[in-house]
Structure 1
Amino acid sequence: MTSSATAATPPSPYLVLGAAIVLPASGHVILGVPVRGLQFLFFMVILAWVTAKIAPADASFVGRHAGGFLIYALSILDAYKIARIRTAKWVHNARRDNDSAQSGIETHT
């Protein structure tokens, strides 16, 4: 049986969000899922290259690499969502364990 009091506190969703904005895939690394971050990086590079090849010559830098920026934005949202879910689960389990400890009921997970 593991109690949320003994379970490690998940990283702050805002820390993960900031890291993911500053450096792509770093939010996933902080969350302990670096392979997922590498997958996002791979598709960022691939789609940036594809859109650079098919974009018109007079397009801006962002326009020429729009596919990569799209995946970058999705990776930020994904890392933040995972962090928020983990934090919400941790808080829920902590409250449940606290309530059961106060009522004398033992929970098994």
Structure 2
Amino acid sequence: MSNSLAAPVPPNPYLVLGAAIVLPASGHVILGVPVRGLQFLFFMVILAWVTAKIAPPDASFVGRHAGGFLIYALSILDAYRIGRIRTAKWVHNAQRANDGAQSGIETHT
């Protein structure tokens, strides 16, 4: 099996996590699913707007925009989860390919 057929190395899940924390939807962009990131951004803005309209006037900034912060937290978790799953699959497939290559070499020699 040649290296050209091997799957590319997925981005580091911690890089994805850090990017998602710093800038919403950037973790999804790094993972190659920007539409999913835009969906999270859309619902983040909508729910922040809704909670700002229904929150009491004496609520804090976080309290007035709690819906947006909830979706923001979910988007961080989602981006990290996707990154971890892709990395685990890549490691598993690489180990299987390595085991198959070793067993193939042993049977031919």
Normalised to the residue count of structure 1, the TM-score between the two structures is 0.91
Distance 2:17 2:4 in 1: 24
Superposition pairs of residues 46-57 of structure 1, within 5 angstroms? 46-57=46-57
Matching residue of 1:79? 79
Segments of structure 2 that go 5 or more residues without pairing to the other structure are none
How many positions carry a matched residue from both structures? 105
How far is the alpha carbon of 1:3 from its aligned partner? Answer: 6.3
Distance 1:4 1:14 in 2: 26
Q: CA RMSD in A?
A: 1.8
Residues 1:99 and 2:99 are matched in the alignment? yes
Segments of structure 1 that go 5 or more residues without pairing to the other structure are none
Q: 1:30-56: CA deviations, max 9, x gaps? A: 000000000000000000000000000
Deviating runs (4+, > 2 A) in structure 1? 1-6
Q: 1:21-75: CA deviations, max 9, x gaps? A: 0000000000000000000000000000000000000000000000000000000
Q: 1:80-105: CA deviations, max 9, x gaps? A: 00000000000000000000100018
Matching residue of 1:29? 29
Q: Which has the higher helix share?
A: 2
**Kindly, what percent of the aligned residue pairs are identical?**
88
Letter paired with 2:62: V
Matching residue of 1:67? 67
